[in-house]
A = this chain, B = another copy of it.
Amino acid sequence: MIVTEFARNQWYVAAYGHEVGRRQLGRTILNEPILLYRTEDGRAVAMADRCVHRRFPLSESPSHLVGDRVVCGYHGFTYGPDGVCVAVPAQQRIPRTARLRTYPVVEQDSFVWVWIGDREPGGTLPPRAPWLVSPEYATVCGMEPLNARYGLLVDNLLDLSHETYLHGGYIGTPEVAETPITTEVDEDAGVVYVSRHMDDAACPPFYAESTGIKGRITRWQDIEYHPPCLYLLHSRVAPVGSPPPADDGTDPHAFHVEVVYAITPSTENTTYDFWAVARDFALDDEKVSDFLRDSNRTVVLQDVAALNTLEQVLAAEPDRYQELSVNIDTGGLAARRLLARMAAAGAVRPEAAAR
């Protein structure tokens, strides 16, 4: 069965940095409504998106920013970036308890990460996706809201054999579904690796049009999933017969694409599906950027449509429906196991979670 519990006390991508600015942005993460904005000196802040007074959302008009403060649009309760209330209508005294919960924020690799949990992150930092801000890569990205539980997206991304059927004509060819995978799990680090190396495969339009390769390719898909939120697909394509990577790690004869997903649970059956595609070729070619953005968004929307359908299917199922897993599911099942472990470790009693 799909994991549906949330893994608390973890970092989650709340937004791209470019989404957080001088207008309030509201996102719901693990069922927690969160207000994001940027102070005048450029710092991203995150706090509870509910006024302490009558719970009006601070992200919704007519709530608004005044300098670094946010003013509730209902009765004017006003909060600083530290969540502390600094103004209440018709009285001078501010109740001591009038403060919003704030969330630890790390801005890294183009993402705004927030820590969701009742413990502090301590020294824990979010995992990295450095290509998204590297000058040696060109990146396109987006976010699509998914009306499905996040576990369905984890399942989807951990088993790419679906590319052949769901994404034929974009990124799928027969070889993807035909080629067996190898799976490794680093239990200590909590990372799942799934690899599929195709020695001689058709080149799907996604790569043919962006790289210019005409014939068949060697195609490597090396997945690295850092549950709960970050998914990396190291994709390597090269014309069949090209030399392999050198011992020093350089690989001048191949094209590299880093496909990054951030899987952020919003509610029990909605998810933010952040996606980015970074390439190490045609860096300044806007046509290639446009093509990859359009293609990957189309692929993501194909997933969204299928997973939204599956969510409806599962919601209508009796409590214990049956699945049948095969070899291609090894990575997905490992991911479910790690997620269940994380959820158990981060669980809090409901009363402790009440704000």
Contacts and interface: CB of A to CB of B under 8 A. Distances in A.
Interface of A: 31, 33, 50, 52-57, 60, 62, 71-76, 88-91, 95, 97-98, 155, 159, 161-162, 164-166, 168, 177-181, 306, 309-310, 313-314, 316-318, 320-329, 350, 353-355
B75 A162 contact: yes
A323 B56 contact: no
13 contacts: A53-B324, A55-B314, A56-B306, A57-B313, A72-B165, A74-B165, A74-B306, A75-B162, A75-B328, A91-B326, A91-B327, A98-B324, A318-B354
B50 A313 contact: yes
B181 A90 contact: yes
A116 to B, nearest CB: 16
Given A56-B309, A75-B161, A89-B164, 15 more contacts: A53-B323, A53-B326, A53-B329, A55-B313, A55-B314, A62-B168, A73-B165, A74-B162, A76-B161, A76-B177, A90-B180, A95-B326, A98-B324, A318-B353, A318-B354
Most buried by B among A54, A161, A181, A327: A54
Contacts of A50: 313
Closest 10 pairs between A and B when the two form their complex, measured CB to CB:
A89-B177, A89-B161, A52-B324, A76-B165, A90-B180, A75-B162, A91-B327, A90-B328, A88-B326, A74-B162
A63 to B, nearest CB: 8
Contacts of A318: 350, 353-354
Nearest to A95: B324
Nearest to A51: B324
A161 B90 contact: yes
A268 to B, nearest CB: 11
Contacts of A98: 324
Contact of A54 (B73, B90, B155, B354): B155
Most buried by B among A57, A162, A321: A162
B328 A166 contact: no
Given A165-B62, A318-B350, A310 B179 contact: no
A90 B55 contact: no
B165 A309 contact: no
Contact of A165 (B75, B161, B166): B75
A323 B52 CA distance: 6
Contacts of A53: 323-326, 329
